[in-house]
Amino acid sequence: MTATPEVDARDSSTIRNPATGAVAGQVRWTDPADVTRIAAGLRAAQTDWEARGAKGRAKVLARYAVWLGEHRAEIEDLLIKETGKSAVDAAQEVPLILMITSYYVRTMEKALAPDSRPAALPFLSIKKITVHYRPRPVVGIIAPWNYPVANALMDAIGALAAGCAVLLKPSERTPLTAELLLRGWQDSGAPEVLALAQGAREVSEAVIDNSDFIQFTGSSATGAKVMERAARRLTPVSLELGGKDPMIVLEDADVELAAHAAVWGAMFNAGQTCVSVERVYVLESVYDQFVDAVVRDVKNLKMGAGEGNDFGALIDDGQVSVTERHVEDAIAKGAKALTGGERRNGPGSFYEPTVLVDVDHSMACMTEETFGPTLPIMKVKSVEEAVRLANDSPYGLSAAVFSKDVDRAKAVALQLDCGGVNVNDVISNLMCTTAPMGGWKTSGIGARFGGPEGLRKYCRVETVVAPRTNVGAGGNYYNNSPKALKRMNTMMTKLALIRPRRMAK
């Protein structure tokens, strides 16, 4: 999601806490014209960074992970001030980055090692084929505001591990946390291969224009604009975009577990999570039991920033307005709000946690990304209906299926059109660092992070073909007599068809 920054109109460098309106800190915006110079500096430093090799870079990343762990309290305090998060929501970000960094530090040497490939045909065995993963010099990362640490570093760590330099453009709504993260990189003795560009649209465009690869996280509409801009220079992109993530509750599910998961998945970070639970389809035989459990759990939630609360503020009043519009549209079309249904009285951009029932796909709350603390629940008659409705969306980021029969749930999961499905859990796919995370349809292009793919995405593939022996070298150069050509074609055809003929039998 993207929008205008929460800044003081009299001073564009003043960032305010959306929960209280208090000043969170000051930031200096980057002149778009300076981005070319910043990128040039990164490009110069990247050569040495690549030359360190995977082992050398792993040591630097390990030191940075230690710094992040030692400064976790400071980082989380700033997160709360800058975003209005609850303490429990702010506490999720640094550990995720430590998990990702730990995984890459252990595996990056193997993931980035040259890959030997066999010869396709016997007569080519005189050649040694090696695929090398060479880093793109400058990776531009345009990060959103909902997780200022996680959404910046889960991409930056992979790019740095691959040997790239990183030009990070944090959201103009949450620039302060990025300044702290950069300070940590410098304090941990790392080279100058990480830099910031602070600002809004014009700075983002300059980052795109001066990078060799773009990782963007945000809305689908903005992602399309990023891709269009990058296409001017044929710059490759990886996009993790919006979602309208469905949850399916089968009639044999553990209803209490499913209800707890739905509430946490929908309300975590005030619903401002790309892989949150945004809509639920429940088989009619357990629908009433599920709804009762959800309402009970939601009524026990505490809303507010900082310690002692379950979730905090929305990022600004604009995001509150989106949530209000979706709820009002649903109620006008026949839905009922069993909890909440309005913004909280008093200061701050808060919206009451809202459970909606009697919903359908004519309502925005079931078809558009809300990114707010709402939980619309729809009764369905069959698993087939649930799957059909879950797939009835332009989005395809993640989903969840609940059933006591895990094999049955997995079978349902493989019918869903999305990049990741959790069985009897929600959001946990985000923690699976060994597997790629990404979306289908308008939810994105490529894998965000995870597994070897999370490193290799930042690399250019270079194939080196070298001789194993000098025997036969140059034997086919311009040997184009009719007799030689016929002999060569006959031999190549026979060799190429050996395996297909065996398999065709």
Structure confidence by residue, pLDDT tens digits, 9-48: 334 689 999 999 999 999 999 999 999 999 999 999 999 9
Listed residue (252, 269, 277) closest to 422, CA to CA:
277
The Cα 224–Cα 394 span in angstroms is 14
Task: State the catalytic residue, choosing from 76, 82, 205, 240.
Answer: 240
Task: Please give the sequence-ordered ranges of beta strands (E in DSSP) within 17-117, or none if there are none.
Answer: 23-26, 115-117
Q: What is the pLDDT of residue 440?
A: 97
Cβ contact 96:268 at 8 Å: no
The Cα 268–Cα 94 span in angstroms is 16
The Cα 381–Cα 142 span in angstroms is 42
Q: What is the pLDDT of residue 475?
A: 62
The Cα 247–Cα 387 span in angstroms is 10
N-terminal to C-terminal alpha carbon distance within the chain: 54
Task: State the catalytic residue, choosing from 50, 93, 274, 459.
Answer: 274
Query: What is the location of CATH 3.40.309.10 in the chain?
Result: 243-431
Q: What's this model's pTM, rounded to 2 decimal places?
A: 0.93
Multiple choice CATH, 243-431, 3.90.1330.10, 3.40.309.10, 2.70.98.10, 1.10.510.10: 3.40.309.10
Burial 247-263 (b: 16+ CB within 10 A, else e): bbbbeebebeebbebbb
For the chain, give the number of residues: 505
The Cα 485–Cα 479 span in angstroms is 7
182 CB-side CA count, 13 A: 17
Residue 105, classed as helix, strand or coil, is helix
Listed residue (297, 287, 291) closest to 251, CA to CA:
287
> Is 274 part of the annotated catalytic residue set?
yes
Q: What is the pLDDT of residue 478?
A: 66
Q: What is the pLDDT of residue 6?
A: 40
Q: How far is CA 33 from CA 6, 40, 138, 234, 327, in A?
A: 23, 12, 17, 21, 43
Question: In the chain, which residues have pLDDT < 70?
Answer: 1-12, 472-480, 495
Paired tokens of 472: 């036969």
Query: What is the location of CATH 3.40.605.10 in the chain?
Result: 10-240+448-458
Q: What is the pLDDT of residue 1?
A: 37
Multiple choice CATH, 10-240+448-458, 3.40.605.10, 3.20.20.80, 3.40.640.10, 3.60.20.10: 3.40.605.10
> Is 240 part of the annotated catalytic residue set?
yes
